[in-house]
Amino acid sequence: MINKYPFTNNVIDCLDSGVFVIDKDFTVHLWNDYMAIRCQFTSDDIVGLNLLDCFPNLPRKWFERNIKSVFILKSPAYSSWEQRAYLFKFPHGRSVTGGVDFMYQNCCFTPVFGQDNNVEYICVTIKDVTDIAIATMKLKDTVMELKRINSIDGLTQLYNRSHWEKCFQNEVSRVNRYEHQVSLVMFDMDFFKKINDQYGHLCGDEVLRQVAIRCTESLRLSDVIGRYGGEEFCVFLPETDLNGAAYIAEKLRHIICDTPVYYNSIAVSISASIGFTCSRSSNNNHEKLIHEADTALYAAKNSGRSQCVSFFDCDV
């Protein structure tokens, strides 16, 4: 590779980026100081050698594919750290790692043309973007955590009403589209105000937390439970008919009622009234199903509490 300007190499060595030039056989023709400082090869060591032989741990297929595309298309190619974290396993040089082991890199593959307008060489530049990568990943984690917090009830760690209802609406849309089935169970803690009045609101909070834990542990992974408000909870059961909903409702009732909640060494007896319903063959509406389960829930309360009632058994 002929250099028309004797100062070019000095300029390239001053760059705060890795720069090297290879031909179609991956023979190295230029290797700047940035690259030499971060690996075991100086320019004198590596120029004239095959890059892939010198760095057997490079992502060979990916690298060859990018180089080949530049030779064929005669246009630059670019790869960000989000596509591939790094080309070379260079140290990042950060005193605080941010949880990363190597330097995150953006790579640019630029064609170098000869006199016949064909690509003779490719100039590869390596830019250290570790700080940007760490900041971006932390931002993404923060956004994800904010989304999680925004969807979770702080006391019970279940989905809050807004997020649960959105999930249920999506499930009902899926049921209508594919003619599947979904059931809905709603339950309310019996005489919850008396618990708060007798033992205090902190005890009431513990009751709600324990009920959430018991129910979550007893449900299937596909079932989605949320705190609907106050002491009322709701669960939708994908791919579940009315008989299945009746079984789950009774199972939940026993899990809630059979064991007291202990607060400050005091056994607090609890119970729940439960209503349930299920989707029809078509044209289901999530709000209508919620209204049906709520109607059945209050029918259970009016019938003596601590029992399960199907909407289809209600006198409406």
Q: CA 253, 278, 165, 192 torsion: positive or negative? A: negative
Tell me the backbone φ, ψ of residue 59, rounded to 5 degrees.
Answer: -70, 85
Give catalytic status of residue 231 as yes or no. Answer: yes
Q: Under DSSP, is residue 26 helix (H, G, I), strand (E, B) or coil?
A: coil
The backbone torsions φ and ψ at residue 173, rounded to the nearest 5 degrees and listed phi first, read: -60, -40
Which strands, in side-by-side order, build the sheet including 77-79?
A: 28-31, 18-22, 119-128, 105-113, 77-79
Give the residue from 1, 22, 9 showing the smallest Cα distance to 122.
22
Question: Residue 132: which of 171, 166, 106 has the closest Cα?
Answer: 106
Neighbours of 65 (CB within 10 A): 11
**Active-site residue, from 165, 231, 232, 292:** 231
Burial class (CB in 10 A: 0-12, 13-18, 19+), 43: middle
List the beta bridge partners of residue 308.
274
User: Which residues are catalytic, by number?
Assistant: 231
